[in-house]
Structure formats: C-alpha cells, structure tokens
Chain A
Amino acid sequence: MKKASALILSLSVLLASCSGGDEEVGSLDEGAASVDEDNKTLTIALGTDVVTFDIHDHNNTSTEAVHDNMFNYLFKRDENNNIQPELVETFEQVDELTVEMTLKEGVTFHNGDPLTSEDVKFTLERVATDDTLQEYPNYNQISEVEIIDDLTFRVITHDPEPSLLHRLSRLGSSMLPKTYIEAEGWDYFLANPIGTGAYQFEEWVRDSQIVLTPYADYYEGAVEEWDEVVFRVIPENSTRVSEILTGGVDIAVNVPPADWDRVNGNAGTAMETETSNRTLMLILRATEGFPTSDVRVRQALNLAIDNGAITESALRGGGVPTKTRIAPGNFGAEESLYDTYDYDVEEAKQLMEDAGYPDGFEMTLHSPRGRYLQDAEVAELVGGMLQAINVTVNVEFMEWSNFVEMRQAGTNKDAYLIGLGNSMFDGAYSVDWYRSNRFEGETDYKNEEIDSLLEASAVNMDEAERAEQIQEIQRIADEDMPHIMLHQETVNYGVNDRIDFTPAMDEMIYVPSITKN
C-alpha cells in the first residue's frame, strides 16, 4: 500500500518537473536549503573525481581546482588575469634565456620543511625532462634551474620563451617538496601529498570525497573561515542539483541550464555564473576533396550559423557569441572579434553558388555528447541552421573516448564540434591550432602567412609586438575560417546563500576566497 502511494506521489513529482513551467516547479515544497549557520565545514560537489595528486601528470581543470588549495605556483594570475608573483618575491629577466627569481621568506611545506631553490629545481626539472608526464610538452622549454643560494635561482630556457611566466602560473608548476619525496618515495607522496598551500591534505576516498583542513603555518596566515573543506564527487547531474537544493552541499559545479530556474527559485540557493576560458567551435576539414576545403564554403557555413540564437535558446543565455577563441583576459586577445558574430543567410547562399554548390551538399558533423554545456543541442541546432543554405548535416554523436580516437586517427569528416580552453591564458596556445604541420592528416589546413607569424611570435620577447602578431593571426583566421567559432561557455555553479563565492574564469575553486555571509 505504502509503496503504491509513494509511487503515485513520485509519478506526480515527475510530471510536475517535466511540465517545465517555473510556477509549477516553484510550488513544489522544495527549498530546504537550510544549513547550520555555525557549521564551519565547506562542502563542494564536483562532477568528477580528482585524477591524481601527481600535479605533473594530468591535464584536468577540475583536478587543478582542488590542487589549487594545497599547492602554490611561483606566479599567479590576479582577478584581472594579470600575472603577479606568488611564491616569488622579486624577479628579473637577465637575458633572453634567463630569468632570475628570489623566493619569499618563511614559506613552508605542510610537514614544516622550508621551501628552497632546491625544491624549485627538483620540481621544474622533473616536468621539463620526463617525457612520460602529461605536462611535459608545456615545460620542456626549460633547460635547467640554476641554484644561486637557498632562495635565489635562475630559470634557463632552450630558446627565448615569452610565455615563461604564463607557464609558471598554472597547473603543472605547483611546488613539490624535494626532501619529502626523496625520503618517502613517490607512491607515499601520492597517497599523502603535501604542498605549501593554505589547505593540507586529510583524506581521499576515491570517487567519493577529498577532505582538506587549514594549514596552521601558512605563510600568509592560516585561513580561519573553514575548519574543514570537503570536495564530494557526485557525477549524476540531477543528484548534484538535489544536493544543492537541500543544503547538502554549499557549491555544486556544472548545474545544467534546465535546472537554473529551480536553483534560483529555491529558498536559500542561487546560481552564480562566470564566462569560462572555453570556446565551442567547429573544426573544418580543409583536405582536398572535401567541400569544406573551399574557403567560400567555410565562410558560407559560418554566415549561415546564428551564434546568438544558439546562446539564447540552447544555452539559455549562458554563453557569449564570439569570432575568436581568445577571450579578453588572455594575452593577445583581439577584442573586436569578441561578443559578436556574422550571420547573413543571403550572402551565404551567394558564396555557396560561387563555390559551385548552388544545391548544397551533404556533410558529417561529429559531436561529443555531455562533454560541454549543451553540446548535443548545439550540434543539432547547427545542423538545422545549415539546412537554410541546402547543406544537409548528419550529426554523429560519439562517446568521448571514441571521439578522441577519431581525431587521433584522422578519420574526422567535414567538421567536428569541440570546446577548447587555454590554461596558459596566453593566446599563443590557441592560435597554435592553425599551425599547418600540427594537423597534417587531420584538418590539413595550411596558411603560410599564419605559419610565419606563429614562428616569429613564438620567440618574440617584445610583449607588445607579440600581442600584435597573435591578434593578426586571429584576424586572418576570421577571414580564412579554418574553424567556425560559436561561443564562449559559462561555468555555472549552484551556491548556498550562506556563503559568498565568486566564480573565476579559470574554473578554480579557491577556498581562501570563499567566506560566510
């Protein structure tokens, strides 16, 4: 009997939540987001577990979001994305290949050992020389770290390296404790990681939770706001949303657009969003034999896609249409190409006719599903829009590992949908996707002008000139259209009213900046 009535109740709940009307959902008696006000535990719901505590051997932003609280970098981006010294007190460019730096005094690891030049050398030379590490390609520009004294050292690169400080302010450049790791071994470190950060490691139950506690001797003073920080792993979207609605967690990452109204309408919770550094785009095949090898076809496809309609309907406003993947806040952003888009179906039709496709053609668009915000919906909308210029799009959805393999094997067809960020916050790493010899056999795009600009900018130590070179590449790409830019994503958090949390563009969840309301 009880079971039957529970069933009927559940059914009616489902009907109410399916009907989609805001009022009906609001009328449900949810809204028990009541957390004990004095509770000094901060709970954050992640969608995926951290991958590892080997900071050199992963490429995962949500893992870095946890690590960020335990480790420090030599430099750090401030809220305006300008690079500021963090563990470094002073630094000076000695010559084109050498930067001399001095560490702050009084920085210690969680076991009490002081941070010294030895640790810097150990950390950076490991990732710069061990080619089995995932972060190796981002640090092998460093040839060595030369120790001057306990706190002073020189970072020396193989070639002039304009992005060095960008590299030293991100994932992969966290400072590791040399003595501790050499005495205890890597396996022990991975199970009991220590850093110099504001929070220290307490416990990691895989696929369940990571617990951190404040480090009493933190060089900037212990953080007293929270006695404990718990990162819980909740892969299922609806479960994560339910947790934020009931006050089970203080922050829930990646709340899907369909649930934004519920979180905002619920007593005690609200959505907080910020544009992320990730841009969604279509990568086109420029290989001979594909219609997309003709620049006029690429331009036509771009003109037939209404980026604004995509961000309005599929993303419910959660996205910024763009013509470049380098957003403001990144070095070398061409701001005139941001927050704008081209849409002109008539001109697109004309270009199609000029290119010899007055009756259109059929093309394949590969898309992952569930990897990016509303990715499947975006792919379908794009397919629908291209119908207006007689292009029939077969959208092929792929599970992520198959998608990766498709790209690796170069079996991509006319286009694929992908979302790309830039953890360096340096535009050079985004425009590198236009370099011709990087994607031979995959997209086969080649533009000699871009190639020579890339080559020149890679070793250009003149900041202003390098920025101009990167901007010029974006302007050329906007004409030549090897990739069709769609929009910059937002990161979307459900947040309990008891805390004050400002999301960051780099998707870090930096606990020392989160306070009680």
Chain B
Amino acid sequence: MNTKVKEVMNTKLETIKAEASVYDAIEKLVDKRMRSLIVLPRDEKDVYGVITVRDIVFKVIAKNLDPHKIRVEEIASKPVISIDKETDLEHLIKLMEKFNIARVFVHEGKEIVGVVSLLDVMGASLIERARRV
C-alpha cells in the first residue's frame, strides 16, 4: 500500500482530564459517539494517554467497580502509541499488530492531531484495491 497516514486519518479527537472520573469519560464517549478519548497530560513533564471503551468495560464494568470512584488516569494507557502523519500505512498496520491495538494516534511535533482506526485501514485498502483497474 502506498497510502500515507495523513490521507486516512481522522482529525475528530476528544480529550479528557486525567483526574476526571471514568463516569465522565463514559458520558463523553456516549455523547460524541466515539470509542476512545485522549487523556491530557497533567503537566509539562507528563505525556498523553488514552482511555478506550475496552478499558472501561474490562477494567471497571466487568469488575463491578463504581465508575464514579475511579479516575481516568488509573485505567488509561500511557503513553499513547503515535506516529508521524507522513508514515506509510503499512508501517501503521505493523504497529497495530505488534502492540495489539485497534487505533494509532498521529502526532505533529508534540501535539496529537489525528487517529487512525482499524476500520479506516480497512476502508483505505478497499479503495486502493478498487482503484487498481
């Protein structure tokens, strides 16, 4: 595949503070119809994290824990796996496989500017196949 990450990435990103409750995260995920939120760094020395629906289901709901009492940073994954937007999609797929993750974030300098999910990768590969006359 010759496709670059920037061609398929989604720039719709939502963030949440590390000290917010998991319940706040659930509300935001439902409202925005999303599957993950970026957890903002606490300070300049800290790094970005990510909290996904999967984290909430397996680490909170399945264990019968109260989402009001657990903070986002307790279950979030840190740091986020991110790549440059000029990277080839092939490299991104390898990263997904290596870390067993469904989405990879895209950075520009220190800032997170986008995300690519498995569904985006599948869509891009279908389009590329179709374009091969």
Q: Do A and B come from one complex?
A: no
Task: Mark B residues whose CB is within 8 Å of A.
Answer: none
Task: Mark A residues whose CB is within 8 Å of B.
Answer: none
